[in-house]
Structure 1
Amino acid sequence: MLNLMEGVDEYNNQGALVGIDGVNNEELMGALRRMNPIQRQRTINKMAYAGIPSRGSRAEMEKFFAELPSYIKEGLAGGTLRLADTVIYSIKVVNSKTIKMYEPQDDRQIGLRNISNAKLPKNQAFLVSGIFLLAGTAADATVDSSMATNFTGLETFPAIANGEFSLTCNKKQLIPETSNIVFKTASFHNLPLGYYKLANPRLIQDDVLIELTVELGTITGIPANSYLFAGMHGTITTP
């Protein structure tokens, strides 16, 4: 089974993290110059230690370091930011053929979603390594019941499984319209339930609009008070 907890230790490839692939790296040298002597020496010592190679989504994050904004690179190099594994999730009711899992009017609320306004906070860049999509039927239409929904795979929701999803950030398409069939993993013993591992992980910058949309051809056979759980799994920068 895919180990989603791989790399729970601190980021362990500092050389790749701060881009120490040549002495002409101006951003790296600038970050080092701004540090006090003790902090600078500690950072250099960490970078010089190869350590154990990164694994899982953290290893994937290394490949995208060059795309991070300079202020995030400097934060990682200086130790004010670090990398952490996370799942950014949202729960929405299935009451139409189009379900927008993240919307600008959304507020963070435990049990429903863990970001506000469909955006990452400042200084948080997120590499999406995989996506969960699960469905369930609540006891009634109350908010508490939606948060207490027992989410399962799409195998018992054929109208949802036969739909599509897409992921767009800042009007830029990261994942084009893709069949929800990819989330039917109940018969796959090496994948978690409802998990789609991206062969091409996608980087989401801070403070840009996230649009993960599920489109259905029909809502026939979907029980009333049914909900979708969408979770983007990967590595994020955090204080």
Structure 2
Amino acid sequence: MLGILGAADEYNNAGALIGLDATDNAELLGALRKMNPIQRQRTINKLSNTGHPSRGSRSEMEKHFSELPQYIKDGLSKGDLRLADTVIYSIKLANSKTVKMFETQDDRQIGLRNISNAKLPKNQALLVSGVILLAGVSVDQTPDNIMSTNFAALENIPALATGETDLKANKKQIFPETSNAVFKTTNFHSVPLGYYKLANPRLILDDILIELTVQLGTVNGIAANTYLYAGLHGTITTP
């Protein structure tokens, strides 16, 4: 496995990527002994040369490599998978006090959501670095008009801004019921509109049910064709 470290050059902690974090690790030492001198030196150089440190959600993702399943680690080390920035999103009608942004009956449809069945595709793992929540009023409930809706800050619809949002993956809390006030970022010019940065980013693995729920205390003042846009921003493994 160490002989293909060239595929891991884009990662700054190649040892963690292949599951060999410490220089006294018996598995690492055993693998090094089996290499010819040139191959051994090249491998040591790759493990010790961190290059420029990663930033943002990529840096956060690298801290969670140890939590990845072995088949995803193998795909990353071989170059079959790579890391990419992404936003997993879904648009849903805000017509009740409980709005489930990802549901098992959902199908992927460009402009409405980019995953099916409220799960990531096979071989994809997402480190959620932040959550986006926006709202807009569509002309009607036809898909084309929903997709062309202007999504803006929750400040424009007070009943949405006073609600709460929580995020779970496989029934485990990523963040508990949190006031939607955290998405009111209109006056924060260094923060994207409707963006809530997680202090403790969490990993969501493939084939795990994603549950992002918006709870409202009232629907007063919410227009009939009001839609919510929810996005999970972070770093994902992808082919």
TM-score (normalizing by structure 1): 0.86
2:134 is the alignment partner of 1:158: no
Show the counterpart of 2:49. Answer: 49
Alignment check: 8 A CA contact 1:135 1:226 kept: yes
How far did 1:72 drift? 1.0
Alignment check: 8 A CA contact 2:169 2:204 kept: yes
Runs of 4+ in 1 over 6 A off after TM superposition: 28-32, 39-44
Alignment check: 8 A CA contact 1:162 1:180 kept: yes
For residues 58-93 of structure 1, what are the alpha-carbon distances to aligned partners after superposition, in whole Å with 9 as ceiling and x for unaligned?
A: 111111111111111121122111111100000001
2:144 is the alignment partner of 1:133: no
Q: Which amino acid aligns with 1:187?
A: N
Q: How does 1:164-175 map to 2 (within 5 A)?
A: 164-175=164-175
How far did 1:219 drift? 0.6
Alignment check: 8 A CA contact 1:97 1:215 kept: yes
For residues 110-152 of structure 1, what are the alpha-carbon distances to aligned partners after superposition, in whole Å with 9 as ceiling and x for unaligned?
A: 0000001000111111000000000000111211111110000
Quick one: percent identity of the two aligned structures? 72
Q: Which amino acid aligns with 1:162?
A: T
Give me the whole-angstrom Cα distance separating, in 1, the residues matched to 2:188 and 2:135: 18
2:129 is the alignment partner of 1:143: no
Corresponding residue pairs, total: 226
Q: From the superposition, tell whether residues 80 and 25 of structure 1 become closer, same or farther in structure 2 (CA, over 3 Å).
A: farther
How far did 1:44 drift? 6.4
Q: From the superposition, tell whether residues 215 and 80 of structure 1 become closer, same or farther in structure 2 (CA, over 3 Å).
A: same
Show the counterpart of 1:214. Answer: 214
Runs (5+) with no aligned partner, structure 1: 1-8, 33-38
Show the counterpart of 1:24. Answer: 25
Q: Which amino acid aligns with 1:104?
A: T
Show the counterpart of 2:61. Answer: 61
How far did 1:49 drift? 2.9
Show the counterpart of 1:72. Answer: 72
Alignment check: 8 A CA contact 1:135 1:154 kept: yes
3-state secondary structure, aligned to 1:149: coil
Give me the whole-angstrom Cα distance separating, in 1, the residues matched to 2:93 and 2:15: 44
How far did 1:16 drift? 3.9
Show the counterpart of 2:189. Answer: 189
Q: From the superposition, tell whether residues 152 and 10 of structure 1 become closer, same or farther in structure 2 (CA, over 3 Å).
A: farther
Larger radius of gyration: 2
TM-score (normalizing by structure 2): 0.86
How far did 1:42 drift? 7.7
Show the counterpart of 1:120. Answer: 120
Alignment check: 8 A CA contact 1:159 1:218 kept: yes
Give me the whole-angstrom Cα distance separating, in 2, the residues matched to 1:59 and 1:152: 29
How far did 1:51 drift? 1.2
Q: Which amino acid aligns with 2:90?
A: S
* Cα RMSD after superposing both structures: 2.5
Alignment check: 8 A CA contact 1:134 1:151 kept: yes
3-state secondary structure, aligned to 1:114: coil
Q: Which amino acid aligns with 1:213?
A: T
Q: Which amino acid aligns with 2:138?
A: A
How far did 1:19 drift? 3.9
Alignment check: 8 A CA contact 2:17 2:66 kept: no
Q: Which amino acid aligns with 1:221?
A: G
Alignment check: 8 A CA contact 1:13 1:53 kept: no
